[in-house]
Amino acid sequence: MGEPIVQLRNVTKEYWLGKVRIDALRVEGLEIEKGAFMAVMGPSGSGKTTLLNVIGGLDSPSTGEVIIDGINIADMRERDLAKIRREKIGFVFQFFNLIPTLTAIENVELPMVLQGKYSRSEIRERARSLLELVGLEDRLFHRPTELSGGQQQRVAIARALINDPVLVLADEPTGNIDSATGLQIIQLMSWLNKTRGQTFLIVTHDPKIGALTQRVLYMIDGYVGSYPEPKPSSSSVISDRERKRFLAAELRSLRSSIEHIEKLKKDLPPDLYYQRLSIYEERLRNLADMMKE
């Protein structure tokens, strides 16, 4: 296994219903490799969403360590947790969680606006490039009610990517759309994982979705079971035309990211600047390799 992006050590999560204790999560040890494309499966109530919430800093563990990209977030104050969530983690939810009064591009822009580090033109250009990347360049100014379920989920994915997170957590991202559209959404995530090297952890009930990932974690009664060895993902089946469109859009998005980081260079700590630049260079190498295929 390569370098881990997520590490859980002796993690438990307990809830109380009156005098009854509910053991929602009991994970002795878990590591998720950087760049993985993984699913979490199990019956309802097995702890899948609790696991995702603890990893994403939306919920604190009762005991143990939760290490995200080398940082233990288990005992962080909410203010510090919010910073980690904003800068390192992207979230995709079953019911999209888009703001109904905002257009698609405004929904995508919002996390970047909250950072307060970018000009209006930079934010608009980055959001536009991401919506193009997910195939919605002709829906920029549509509100959620004017979009299909699949289109809304694509907006949500673009929003999750706006701050270049190292980890994307998706909780039943296909649960509120039809099966054919759901497969397209997972395929899109797979391509984003392949080109960007971002880690994806996807909660799903659907074995068809699980079969499209590289590895599967199985949960029961709060425990994480064994998972198979990495396997080639079959989610790469895509038309040549769509492949070329995606690669071209990703190249434009990457160019936009590099331009933004260069503009911020003087305001960033040198280690953070070179870390981000290294990520973009790796993505560029991935793109070059894929274009040769």
What is the C-alpha R_g of the chain?
19
What phi, psi does 202 have (nearest 5°)? -120, 120
For residues 243, 245, 251, 255, the Cα torsion angle rounded to the nearest 10 degrees is -160
CA distances from 234 to 180, 181, 230 (A): 15, 16, 12
Top CATH class, 36-46+88-216+226-292: alpha beta
Q: What does the domain layout of the chain look like in residue ranges?
A: 36-46+88-216+226-292
What does 200-219 look like in DSSP terms, one character per residue?
EEEE-S-HHHHTTSSEEEEE
Contact residues for 234 (Cβ-Cβ < 8 A; gap 6+):
211, 212
CA distance 142 to 136: 10
Pairing type for strands 215-220 and 223-224 reads antiparallel
Write out the chain's pLDDT in tens, 293 residues: 678 999 999 999 998 888 788 889 999 999 999 999 999 998 888 999 999 999 999 999 999 999 999 999 998 999 999 989 988 999 999 889 999 999 999 999 998 888 777 788 888 988 999 999 898 999 999 999 999 999 999 999 999 999 889 999 999 999 888 888 888 899 889 988 988 889 999 999 888 888 889 999 999 999 998 555 445 444 445 567 777 777 777 787 778 778 877 877 777 778 777 877 887 887 788 777 777 76
